[in-house]
Amino acid sequence: MLVTLEETKQYLRIDGDYDDELIKGLMATANDLCIAILRQDESELDGENPRLKTAIFYAVTYLYEHRDEADHRGLALTLRDLLTGLRREGF
């Protein structure tokens, strides 16, 4: 995982632990989405890259706030735009 639960909760401005399991699941989904968009293995990525971390936090926030009506295509397009400079051209 490229971000921690504590970092993510700070980004979301959540103090309690009532949604920790939900947030962990969203973090895994966001992490996988960003890795897929980048077309790289997680081991190849710089987990300290601010643009990558921002993309993961954005995805978690979007999925958390739009649980019932998320536009996954729109999310993927936004993430692709955020990660353009880091993305491999092909597999």
Q: What are residue 15's phi and psi, to 5 degrees?
A: -95, -40
- Give the residue carrying structure tokens 């980048």: 38
In order, the DSSP letters of 51-66 are: HHHHHHHHHHHHHHHT
- Return the structure tokens found at 7: 């970092």
pLDDT of residue 90: 65
CA distance 37 to 29: 12
What residue ranges do the domains of the chain occupy?
5-86
CA distance 33 to 40: 11
pLDDT of residue 88: 74
**pLDDT digit string (tens) for 3-37?**
999 999 999 999 999 999 999 999 999 999 999 99
Q: What is the pTM of this model?
A: 0.89
pLDDT of residue 45: 83
